[in-house]
């Protein structure tokens, strides 16, 4: 692997070398490395770009890494990945995409990931997006993530975008059956004239299903952010949606919550807070010897952890 590939893998998947176990590394529109394991089978799709990942029932303490790297300016990459997680499995899935754009064109990645969790399956899904450029090109990232959680299934998603993406439209859809649980934590940073839109749509169809969707973001410069969430309580269920944003400089942040309860036993809550960094926080850190800029950076870094 060249140095660009190594750096991107570290940024989006915390990999310093080829991982053990199951993995698929995609670079500039094609796989450059793939391996399955005894319990995890990765199969290329025949009808379109992407892979199917089959995780056997009862699989425990295993992981799958599927990072994507784009290093060509002007490349528009589209990939469809489907995950089939068997009953009672408990696995870690690490995805993410990094773009290194050294030209003057737009490079983009559209990743459509669909998760199918069987009864009592458990998944932790980590997804990181990162961009860098040494030219005038722009980086675009438009991920779509779909979750179908069967009875008793549990999925926790950590999604992060904190550098180098000029435009992103992030869509997440979830459908939950009885006793299923969905937890999503998003961290997002925009600056200069970047644009980011996040949309969450969750259908709580099963009895005692629950969802907790939380977004933390910082908007700097003249960047713009939109947060849109809709939780549909179609049964006896619990749903919580939260947007917490720090706004700085000339940025614009919009939060659009939507709750729909169609069952008398649905309990749905939304919280939204948008505001600047409190002056007393900056002053307190400045008394410890930090400059105003250093104080702001410390607060932002702590907020996004």
Same-domain check for residues 192 and 113: no
Residue 135 has pLDDT above 80, yes or no: no
Q: Same domain, yes or no, for 184 and 230? A: yes
Residue 105 scores a pLDDT above 80 = yes
Structural domain range at position 245: 166-305
The CA dihedral of 239, 202, 190, 277, to the nearest 10 degrees, is: -10
Higher-confidence position of 220 and 294: 220
265 pLDDT more than 90: yes
123 and 20 in one domain? yes
Q: What is the mean pLDDT of residues 178-204?
A: 97
- Span 114-134, average pLDDT: 95
Task: State residue 279's pLDDT score.
Answer: 81
Do residues 139 and 103 make contact, with C-beta atoms less than 8 angstroms apart?
no
Give the range among 78-92, 105-119, 246-260, 272-286 with minimum mean pLDDT. Answer: 272-286
127, 196: one domain: no
Does residue 143 sit in the same domain as residue 173? Answer: no
Secondary structure, 3-state, 30-82: EEEEEECCCCEEEEECCCCCEEEEEECCCCEEEEEECCEEECCCCCEEEEEEE
Please report the pLDDT score of residue 21 as a whole number: 86
pLDDT of residue 294: 85
137 shares its domain with 231: no
Q: How many domains does the chain have?
A: 2
Instruction: Determine, yes or no, domain membership for 223.
Output: yes
How far is the first Cα of the chain from the last one, in angstroms, to the nearest whole number?
30
Report residue 295's pLDDT band, with 50, 70 and 90 as the boundaries.
confident
Confidence of residue 2 (pLDDT cuts 50, 70, 90): confident
148 and 275 housed in the same domain: no
Residues listed for the chain: 305
pLDDT at 290: 86
Same domain? 221 vs 264: yes
Residues 144, 47 share a domain: yes
Whole-angstrom distance, CA of residue 22 vs CA of residue 66: 9
Residue 159 inside a domain? The answer is: no
Give dist(CA 154, CA 122) in Å, integer: 5
**Bigger pLDDT: 3 vs 107:** 107
- Average pLDDT of 243-269? 96
Judged by DSSP in three states, 5 sits in helix
Same domain, 147 and 41: yes
Task: For residues 140-163, give the mean pLDDT.
Answer: 96
Residue 185 lies in a domain: yes
Residues 129 and 240 in one domain: no
- Predicted confidence at residue 41, as pLDDT, reads 98
Same domain, 204 and 304: yes
Q: Check whether 193 has a pLDDT greater than 80.
A: yes
Compute the mean pLDDT over every residue in the chain, rounded to the nearest whole number.
Answer: 94
287: pLDDT confidence band, cut at 50, 70 and 90?
confident
Predicted pLDDT of residue 288: 82
Q: For residue 35, what pLDDT is reported?
A: 95
Q: Can you give the pLDDT at residue 305?
A: 81
């Amino acid at each position: 692997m060249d140095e660009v590939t190594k750096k991107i893998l570290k940024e989006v998947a915390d990999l310093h070398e080829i991982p053990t176990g199951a993995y698929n590394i995609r670079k500039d529109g094609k796989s450059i490395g793939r391996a399955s394991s005894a319990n995890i089978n990765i199969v290329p799709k025949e009808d379109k770009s992407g892979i199917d990942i089959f995780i056997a029932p009862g699989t425990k303490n295993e992981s799958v890494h599927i990072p994507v790297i784009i290093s060509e300016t002007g490349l528009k990459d589209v990939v469809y990945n489907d995950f089939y997680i068997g009953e009672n499995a408990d696995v870690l899935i690490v995805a993410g995409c990094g773009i290194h754009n050294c030209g003057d064109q737009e490079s983009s990645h559209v990743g459509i990931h669909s998760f199918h969790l069987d009864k009592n399956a458990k998944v932790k899904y980590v997804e990181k997006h990162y961009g860098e450029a040494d030219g005038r090109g722009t980086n675009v990232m438009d991920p779509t993530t779909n979750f179908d959680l069967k009875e008793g299934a549990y999925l926790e998603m950590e999604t992060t975008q904190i550098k180098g993406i000029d435009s992103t439209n992030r869509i997440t859809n979830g459908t939950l059956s009885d006793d299923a649980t969905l937890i999503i934590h998003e961290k997002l940073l925009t600056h200069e004239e970047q644009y980011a839109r996040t949309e969450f749509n969750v259908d709580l169809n099963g009895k005692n299903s629950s969802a907790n969707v939380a977004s933390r973001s910082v908007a700097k410069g003249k960047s713009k952010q939109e947060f849109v969430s809709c939780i549909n309580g179609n049964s006896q269920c619990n749903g919580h949606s939260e947007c917490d944003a720090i706004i700085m400089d000339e940025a614009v942040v919009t939060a659009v919550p939507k709750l729909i309860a169609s069952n008398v036993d649905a309990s749905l809550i939304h919280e939204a807070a948008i505001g600047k960094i409190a002056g007393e926080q900056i002053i307190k850190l400045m008394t410890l010897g930090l400059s105003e800029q250093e104080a702001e950076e410390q607060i932002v870094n702590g907020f996004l952890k």
